[in-house]
Amino acid sequence: MSMENLLKEEELSLLRSTLEGAGKILITCHTNPDGDALGSMTALMSVLRRRGKEVVGVAPDRWPDNLEWLPLMGEVRQYLRHEEEVKDLVKDVDLVLMLDHGRLDRMAELGEAVAGLQVPRIVMDHHPQPEEGALLTLCYPGFCAAAEVVYKVLDQLGWTQDMTADEATGIYCGLMTDTGAFAYNSNRPELYRIIASLLEKGIDKDHIYRKVFWASSADRYRLLGYLLYVKMEILHEYHAAIITFTNQERKHFQLKNGETDGIVNYPLMIGGMRLSIFLREDTEKRGVIRVSLRSVDDVPCHDISAEFFQGGGHRNASGGRLNCSMEEAVEVAKKAIRKYAEILKK
């Protein structure tokens, strides 16, 4: 299927020669890796291995249990808690491919290790404001997922013709998870041309959907019920909602890794809501509140996150953190909501 070209001729030839010249390649993604980060990573690991490269995939930290089934996931290393082992494994790489993030600091400690390697980096991403310093920055904020960038780049290299069903599965997982199963950020027709190609490679999209979205523990849904019934504060006037979740409360639920992901989306299902903020105590670091923001239309989560929560992300989906108590975090969230009142009340 013919698609519009993404890369300029000089970018394509630099990419091709850099990949050809590299014997061993490290692929990285951002902290709290999601379906896009890991789907893109595992797909690209496989494509490059079939082309004779030695490839190491490393995530900065833990991933959700519902992504464990992804093809090749068993070979992705986790930097947190395995630092020495991973450092040894990547010390002789020739090239780093940064997927689903355009900044070293989005990898926490792994970012410092990557900077220390002193080898060229290529970014394939869709977040705004990638940093300088990479050999090649293939970053398209209009794209719904890093998986879309990876697919388009592979297509232009002529490497999608022999793409396997497993590789196509990783790409589809990225497209599906970063669009909430095509509920947002998913109006570009090109996206569906890519999906048509993936179906032709043999993916089972219904199966992928169930593996990712219908795989929670019963406790995850009990928690959701509790949070919506007891812990959701709706600021009707501002079309905004705040949900809080403490580690004390967490003790009552047997949650698998990543099972608080997605809870931030639920308040937006209430008609007229424009912003949802989910505040949860970090399970590892005391005194840290992790923040997730989701919005609709022109409400700029990434700006709110940068201004109030030391974070960033996309316009309608961002994250950040605060070093304070939950009570203080709620106050910060309310301050943010009041600051953006004009746009929220529209």
CA 56 to mean position of chain CA atoms: 19
Residue 30 touches which of ligand 5GP, Mn ion, none (Cβ within 5-8 Å per kind): ligand 5GP
Is residue 312 a contact residue for ligand 5GP (CB under 6 A)? yes
Binding mask 17-36 for Mn ion (x = CB under 5 A): -------------------x
Tokens of 49: 């291995």
Q: Total number of residues binding Mn ion (CB under 5 A)?
A: 5
Q: Find the shortest distance in angstroms from Cβ 346 to Mn ion.
A: 27
Element (H, E) at 280: strand 275-281
Q: Which of 148, 167, 178, 261 binds Mn ion (CB under 5 A)?
A: 178
b/e code 281-297 from CB counts within 10 Å (16+ = b) = beeeeeebbbbbbbbbe
| Structure letter (DSSP) for residue 266 | G
- The residue (of 133 and 202) whose beta carbon lies closer to ligand 5GP is 133
Contact segment (CB under 6 A) with ligand 5GP among 48-56, 71-79, 81-89, 305-313 equals 305-313
- The residue (of 300 and 312) whose beta carbon lies closer to ligand 5GP is 312
Is residue 317 a contact residue for ligand 5GP (CB under 6 A)? yes
| Structure letter (DSSP) for residue 228 | I
Is residue 125 a contact residue for Mn ion (CB under 5 A)? no
Are 231 and 253 in contact, with CB atoms under 8 Å apart?
no
Distance CA 139, CA 156 (A): 15
Residue 167 touches which of ligand 5GP, Mn ion, none (Cβ within 5-8 Å per kind): none
- The residue (of 150 and 263) whose beta carbon lies closer to Mn ion is 150
Distances (CA, A) of 184 to 55, 145, 165, 294, 317: 33, 12, 25, 11, 10
Is residue 126 a contact residue for ligand 5GP (CB under 6 A)? no
Q: Which of 292, 304, 322, 336 binds ligand 5GP (CB under 6 A)?
A: 292
Are 253 and 222 in contact, with CB atoms under 8 Å apart?
yes
Is residue 130 a contact residue for ligand 5GP (CB under 6 A)? no
